[in-house]
Amino acid sequence: MPVQVEGLTSWALLARRGPFLRFLPALASTLLLWAVLQHARSPLALPATLLAIPAAFYGVLLMAGVSLADAQAAGWVPQPAEVLPLT
């Protein structure tokens, strides 16, 4: 269920369990990217982190026994885009 944040009072909606749980992966990814940018010295650290974030997300889905279709139905993964003909 999407949450519309239109004013200061609607920020309280993020404290509900559903929206907050969907916010956690983005927050964790942001903090990880910040830490890598601040502390890593290797030029491969950022590309490796950018590959590791979605791999970890789908790994958690796999370990939790959640199929891609279930994750899409729950709103964790977007539905595939409609393919339009090139002509």
Question: 50-72, pLDDT tens digit by residue?
Answer: 999 999 999 999 999 999 999 99
Residue 66 exposure: Cα atoms within 13 Å on the Cβ side: 15
Q: What is the pLDDT of residues 11-24, one digit of tens each?
A: 666 666 677 788 88
Q: Please report, for residues 7, 8, 19, 64, the alpha-carbon distance to residue 4 in angstroms, rounded to integers and kept in the order given.
A: 9, 11, 11, 29
What is the percent of the chain with per-residue pLDDT over 90, rounded to a whole number? Answer: 54
Tokens of 72: 């899409």
- Average pLDDT for the chain: 86
Q: Look at the block and give the residue holding tokens 């790994």.
A: 59
Domain boundaries, the chain: 20-74
Of 22 and 8, which is predicted with more confidence?
Answer: 22
